[in-house]
Copies of this chain bind each other. A is one copy, B any other.
Amino acid sequence: MTTPVTRQECAARDAADPLAPFRDEFVLPEGVVYLDGNSLGALPRATPARVAQVVEREWGQRLIASWNEAGWWDKPRTLGALLAPLVGAGADEVVVGDGTSANLFKTLVAALRLNPGRRVVVAEAGNFPTDRYIAQGVVELFDGASVRPVDVDDTAALTAALEPGDAAVLLLSHVDYRTGVLRDMAAVTELAHAHGALVVWDLCHSVGALPVELSRAGADFAVGCTYKYLNAGPGAPAFTYAARRHHAHARQPLSGWHGHARPFDFTEEYEPAAGVSRFLSGSQPLIAAAALEASLELWRRVDLGQVRAKSLALTDLFLELTAEAGLECATPVEHARRGSQVSLRHPDGYPMVQALIARGVVGDFRAPDILRFGFAPLYLRYVDVYDAATALVEVVASGEWRDPRFARRAQVT
């Protein structure tokens, strides 16, 4: 039996943490350990001033001149280029704009069109609802098309789903939003390609949490949000990745003027732009984009290898310290299969999470039975994890979660 980790030892690890200085770059509410950065990331201190600059200076004083002067027109591309290194993509392979749902729609339709004759979308069975719903919305537009749900973590099942040779595209998340399971992007992409299917990766729960290597994995398309680990604010603009080899032929249906080859010629016929810009549609919310820009400027200085190392250390620590609570763990112990979260199962998970929140430890609950804890290495300390784990153990042991004020109610987020 090993000696349990002490809070003092956690403080020592914080003192040695190369990412520790980043914590001061975030606004964090007093008395809270925030383990929900995988739902909505914390506010970077630089963001309010950047947002105010766009509102008061670029919009208020310069008005339409800012479309040129402030680079508004090119913001989807310049922000895409800033984001690209975080997903292992070329600067010309990523654009920022619209939401994850819309971008899923665009990339799925593009993938189906690139694979004519095939009409099946093989889709991760337990994926986040919007991924499944959008896939359903897409196949309704193609005669004879259908969604084939599959357990993507069961390689035999995934292979069987791809083997009929009718799969146009595989849609899955890089990290499962409930369990935190991390998929092997290179291996899954290779398997899909071997069966003639393209792949659309949803990176919502991996971008900013670990190094993502889209180009190295040979991925075709990817989408993701920026309001979780990337700290760009509630409902911040999402992004779309399209591998360079698909730029010439990919056709997405939301063919608005921002995706046109010559948008200011106002030509009669739509003609898609040469590069990844063809995935753009209309004007983007530039005040929201300002917050994304501020956070991406912070992320430029971050070493993703350090993020990954600390993420695994934090989740290891939490797993170790919460073991005595006796909750079933849904998150893989193997590092190679773990994202940056820990999900524990209990039928009374909902009131347990509420009781934890009342103690200032913010995690969230995902039906039917998951207590979900996200670990954002830029602003979480080892002592925070110690305190959160201690609180969880106490909440479970004390039965304080049975208090009626923690009972289940209508849930939002």
Chain A residues in the interface with B (C-beta under 8 A): 27, 29, 34, 36, 39-40, 42-43, 47-48, 51-52, 54-56, 58-64, 66-68, 72-73, 98-102, 105, 109, 128-130, 132-134, 136-138, 140-141, 143, 149, 225, 227, 233-238, 253-258, 260, 263-270, 281-289, 291, 362, 364, 367, 410-413
Q: Which 4 A-B pairs have the closest CB atoms?
A: A101-B256, A101-B282, A285-B288, A137-B255
Whole-angstrom distance from the CB of A122 to the nearest CB of chain B?
16
* Cα separation A91 to B410 with both chains bound (whole Å): 24
Do A63 and B264 touch (CB < 8 A)?
no
Residues of B within 8 A of A257 (CB): 101, 128-130, 133
Do B281 and A102 touch (CB < 8 A)?
yes
Whole-angstrom distance from the CB of A158 to the nearest CB of chain B?
19
Residues of B within 8 A of A411 (CB): 264
Whole-angstrom distance from the CB of A289 to the nearest CB of chain B?
8
Residues of B within 8 A of A291 (CB): 55, 287
Known contacts A109-B141, A234-B283, A288-B288; 9 further A-B pairs (Cβ under 8 A): A47-B55, A48-B55, A64-B413, A72-B234, A72-B235, A98-B99, A105-B281, A233-B285, A287-B288
Do A285 and B235 touch (CB < 8 A)?
yes
* Cα separation A411 to B265 with both chains bound (whole Å): 9
* Cα separation A52 to B287 with both chains bound (whole Å): 11
Residues of B within 8 A of A54 (CB): 234
Nearest CB to that of A63 among chain B residues?
Answer: B40
Whole-angstrom distance from the CB of A176 to the nearest CB of chain B?
13
Residues of B within 8 A of A227 (CB): 283
Do B100 and A282 touch (CB < 8 A)?
yes
Residues of B within 8 A of A283 (CB): 99-100, 225, 227, 234-235
Do B55 and A254 touch (CB < 8 A)?
no
Do B256 and A133 touch (CB < 8 A)?
yes
Whole-angstrom distance from the CB of A295 to the nearest CB of chain B?
12
| Contact with A285, one of B138, B143, B285 (Cβ below 8 angstroms) | B285
Whole-angstrom distance from the CB of A41 to the nearest CB of chain B?
9
Whole-angstrom distance from the CB of A239 to the nearest CB of chain B?
13
Do B56 and A27 touch (CB < 8 A)?
yes
Residues of B within 8 A of A267 (CB): 129
Do A255 and B286 touch (CB < 8 A)?
no
* Cα separation A254 to B54 with both chains bound (whole Å): 30
| Contact with A130, one of B130, B235, B256 (Cβ below 8 angstroms) | B256
Residues of B within 8 A of A29 (CB): 60-63
* Cα separation A109 to B43 with both chains bound (whole Å): 38
Asked if A287 meets B233 with Cβ closer than 8 Å, knowing A102-B254, A256-B101, A282-B99, the reply is yes
Do B133 and A270 touch (CB < 8 A)?
yes
| Contact with A105, one of B63, B140, B254, B265 (Cβ below 8 angstroms) | B254
Do B64 and A255 touch (CB < 8 A)?
no
Nearest CB to that of A227 among chain B residues?
Answer: B283
* Cα separation A234 to B72 with both chains bound (whole Å): 9
Do A66 and B234 touch (CB < 8 A)?
yes
Do A102 and B282 touch (CB < 8 A)?
yes
* Cα separation A143 to B142 with both chains bound (whole Å): 9
